[in-house]
Amino acid sequence: MKRKQLLLILAIFTSWILSSCTKSEQELKEARSYVDKGQFRTAISYYDMAITRYEDSELSLLAAREAARVSLFEIKDYKKAAEYFSYLVLRSSDYKERILSQKQITNIYFDHLSDYPKSIIELNKLINMLEDVNEKNQLKIKLARAYYYQNDFTQAENEVNDLLIGNITEEIRFELLMLKGNIRLGKRNLSGAAEVFKEVLVKFP
């Protein structure tokens, strides 16, 4: 009797799992069909259902990848795209995918949304995730620019000065000195700006 009850419970449980998987797969198929029709916002709603039904599964990651692409390139809903990339950063087991997703997030907030306070947060996250020194330096320049664009000239100059004392290429040094000169112009420190631009002319004739 107990054996029959156990088999019945297992059969019901297996049936429920298979049914749920089929529904999630169906939602993904529906999303793709709406993408093919050009009905991108409807597709996004199906991607969202697939993501939430089986959170942390490979299926949800696949849905998030496709939804991020549609949001970024098709409907240009940048905030929504950033949400999907954030999902991948937090839940993907693939290190490269997490890095690429975080790069997309920083690009969205810096280049597309011009949200510099948020850019600073996301850039710092990305810098801490990377190992390559040159890539870190390029991002730190972007970080300094984010401070500069939101008129935090003191912090922007601090970021530049920290980079200038490090081991950097001459190309990066030139870029940093030009930025530093502009920062000082932003501070209305005309003599300080002139000093920096004079240094540029001497070092890069």
The residue ranking higher by pLDDT, 23 or 192, is 192
pLDDT over threshold 80, residue 21: no
pLDDT band at 5 (very low <50, low <70, confident <90, very high): low
Distance between CA atoms of residues 111 and 158, nearest Å: 22
pLDDT band at 24 (very low <50, low <70, confident <90, very high): low
Q: Tokens in use for 195?
A: 């000093």
Exposure string for 181-191, b = 16+ CB within 10 A, e = fewer: bbbbbbeebee
DSSP run (H or E) holding 78 = helix 78-91
Mean pLDDT of 67-76: 98
Distance between CA atoms of residues 29 and 53, nearest Å: 14
To the nearest whole number, what is the mean pLDDT of the chain?
90
- 180-195 pLDDT, tens digit per residue, is 999 999 999 999 999 9
Distance between CA atoms of residues 38 and 42, nearest Å: 9
